[in-house]
Chain A
């Protein structure tokens, strides 16, 4: 794991969920959180690789890190506003 040292406010294990499940879980957590919160979502869904960065860019949050692992990836997103 090469995750950043930044404290992760919340981790969501969405492995096993299909599109758009992991992204919806992430959006829910970002909405519920406070500005500056960092949410990590674990997703094994291949669609997440395009969908999560696309949503983060569009919603103007910050994609801190994408860490690929065996069979899934961890997406770390900071709530920017």
Chain B
């Protein structure tokens, strides 16, 4: 750790690479998945980046939107298909499923026990930290319309819904991840 930190002081940094380093002070994550094992690392990376001083944005699209659904909104959507979607795919940060070994809830349950044993923060805790650290959490407006989600269905502390161009312009000079 110390060695790494000392390196810039020992070697004078040329101007060109200085400019380059500023291009890596931003992180934009496109959170497409609502799976526990993808949302978890997304939130760990986002909070870590924000804590390290990077301007961090997470753009939530498609399945990625459902973790942002409020605890008290069980059924979302305006029409039958959107409501069925909410029935089959429960929203909320506490109801995420593993992409494999889910085993009707046993898998994600065991994963949460393991995480507790290893003192890994839960997705809900990480989401709260992300908001506290000033991570910009942007829901995709188009997917919200498609899935029948409104801003009232989503948790507080997130940004106004936006479109793909807003996310892309943010991503232009950032490190980007699609998770």
Contact = CB atoms under 8 A, between A and B. Distances in A.
Given A19-B163, A55-B165, 15 more contacts: A18-B145, A19-B141, A19-B164, A20-B163, A45-B145, A47-B164, A48-B163, A50-B160, A50-B162, A50-B166, A51-B164, A52-B165, A54-B165, A54-B166, A58-B169
Given A51-B162, A51-B163, A51-B164, A46 B145 contact: yes
A54 B168 CA distance: 10
14 contacts: A19-B163, A20-B142, A20-B163, A45-B142, A47-B140, A47-B142, A47-B163, A47-B164, A50-B141, A50-B160, A50-B161, A54-B165, A54-B166, A55-B169
B1 interface: no
A76 interface: no
A46 B145 CA distance: 9
A46 B161 contact: yes
Contacts of A47: 140-142, 161-164, 166
Interface string B122-166: 000000000000000000111001100000000000001111111
Contacts of A58: 169
Given A45-B141, A50-B166, A54-B169, A18 B160 contact: no
Q: What band does the interface of chain B fall in when counting residues whose beta carbon is under 8 Å from A?
A: 10 to 19
Nearest to B165: A51
A50 to B, nearest CB: 4
Interface of A: 18-20, 23, 45-48, 50-52, 54-55, 58
Where chain B touches its partner, the secondary structure class is helix
Most chain A beta carbons < 10 A, residue from B141, B146, B160, B165: B165
Where chain A touches its partner, the secondary structure class is helix
Interface of B: 140-142, 145-146, 160-166, 169
A45 B169 contact: no
Contacts of B145: 18, 45-46
A23 B165 contact: yes
Most chain A beta carbons < 10 A, residue from B140, B145, B163: B163
A48 B162 CA distance: 8
Contacts of A51: 162-166
A39 to B, nearest CB: 16
A53 to B, nearest CB: 9
Most chain B beta carbons < 10 A, residue from A45, A51, A52: A51
A45 B144 CA distance: 11
